[in-house]
Amino acid sequence: MRAGEHALSLEIFKGWPAIVLRQGDLALSLVPAVGGRLMGIRAGVHELCFIHPGLQGKTFSGDERQWRDLCGDWAFPLWGGGKTWVAPESAWPRGSPHRDLDSLAWKLTASWCHASAMGLSLESPICSDSGLQIIRRLDWPVGAREWGIAHTLRNAGTRTVRCGVWDVLMLRRPAIVRIPLPPTPSGSAPSVTSLPGKASVASLMEEGIIDGTACSAHVHCHVAKEFKCGFQSERGEIEVEFTEWNVRYARRSEVDATRAHAHAHPLEVFNAAQLPYFEVETHSPLQTLAPGDFIHYVIHERVEFTQLLGPSARP
């Protein structure tokens, strides 16, 4: 496909039926059958997303025995790609992401591919635990390197729920994550914090995993060491440099510093120990949803090459 061309097609991606959106050298693969995931982001010949090799092509039928096989050594299946979770983690049923939202099939409600724009909309089932439902709408202007995913989290149940949108994207190591930091007035909370039970920021800095300046944190996701940190932010910006591939991924979202977030900060980075991936995570503010209420939160994502590639590197 030449630069400037675009297409939307139904294909098999890693064993799953997928809707694939392409523009030039960039392809986005969405898998409705597994939690409505953005399962693949391909730049040229490079797949940026981590996709669990042992779960490719598998789906969850709702059977409890099958669930245990899909989980393996974890409390829930680590499918891969990008998904919408419900924050806070402390309110997860049985200590795991809402199963119906994260692992059951979603419904494709619309797709379009016009001269000026392309995209699709996916709708989750109503969660049997929480009564919540999620709609993910992806909009991608033609000729742009940036797309937007609008997350609508709706209370379709009968009881009030306090929650937030939590977008989590699993990416392949190695990479460097850069996060601009807001000014830290004297006496205020630090801009970078470790999450409970994880390695401290001080120890990560001693190991060279976190460095940077007063206005920018750099997180080196290179080794198989588990850690998770939260970051304060003014503009919800995260940038990921895949230095071995000369590819850059970036995301941004609106941040309201006057409102509470489920984990006390709008941005997080997680690095896994047992599998070769890390995560960039974005939170909306918390909101109290009465039945019928909803949260609407948009995250803009972008991929670009950091230098010109030769013809052999193009698809």
User: Could you read off the pLDDT tens digit of each residue along the chain, which spans 315 residues?
Assistant: 455 589 999 999 999 999 999 999 999 999 999 999 999 999 999 999 999 999 999 999 999 999 999 999 999 999 999 999 999 999 999 999 999 999 999 999 999 999 999 999 999 999 999 999 999 999 999 999 999 999 999 999 999 999 999 999 999 999 999 999 998 765 566 899 999 899 999 999 999 999 998 899 999 999 999 999 999 999 999 999 998 999 999 999 999 999 999 999 999 999 999 999 999 999 999 999 999 999 999 999 999 999 744 443 433
pTM of the model: 0.94
CB 230 within 8 A of CB 192: yes
CB 40 within 8 A of CB 81: yes
Please tell me the distance from the alpha carbon of residue 32 to that of residue 121, in angstroms, as a whole number: 10
- Could you tell me the two tokens for 117? 């724009």
pLDDT of amino acid 4: 57
Q: Is 64 exposed, middle or buried (0-12, 13-18, 19+ CB in 10 A)?
A: exposed
Please tell me the distance from the alpha carbon of residue 123 to that of residue 120, in angstroms, as a whole number: 10
pLDDT of amino acid 29: 98
Q: For residue range 124-162, list pLDDT tens digits in order.
A: 999 999 999 999 999 999 999 999 999 999 999 999 999
pLDDT of amino acid 309: 42
Sign of the torsion formed by the C-alpha atoms of 266, 267, 271 and 272: positive
Encoded amino acid at 156, one letter: A
The CATH class of the 6-310 domain is: mainly beta
pLDDT of amino acid 245: 94
CB 34 within 8 A of CB 60: yes
Q: For residue range 167-180, list pLDDT tens digits in order.
A: 999 999 999 999 99
- Could you tell me the two tokens for 48? 């940026």
Encoded amino acid at 87, one letter: A
Q: Where are the alpha helices (DSSP H) in the chain?
A: 64-71, 99-103, 201-206
| Contact partners, residue 68, CB within 8 Å, separation at least 6 | none
CA dihedral 222, 275, 300, 20 (to 10 degrees): 130
| Contact partners, residue 259, CB within 8 Å, separation at least 6 | 285, 286
- For residue 13, list its beta bridge partners: 16
pLDDT of amino acid 187: 56
Please tell me the distance from the alpha carbon of residue 275 to that of residue 263, in angstroms, as a whole number: 24
Q: Please count the other Cβ atoms lying within 10 Å of the Cβ belonging to residue 12.
A: 11
Preceding omega of 32 cis (within 30 degrees of 0): no
pLDDT of amino acid 1: 47
In this structure, what DSSP letter does residue 91 have?
A: G
| Contact partners, residue 299, CB within 8 Å, separation at least 6 | 148, 149, 151, 167, 236, 251, 252, 253, 282
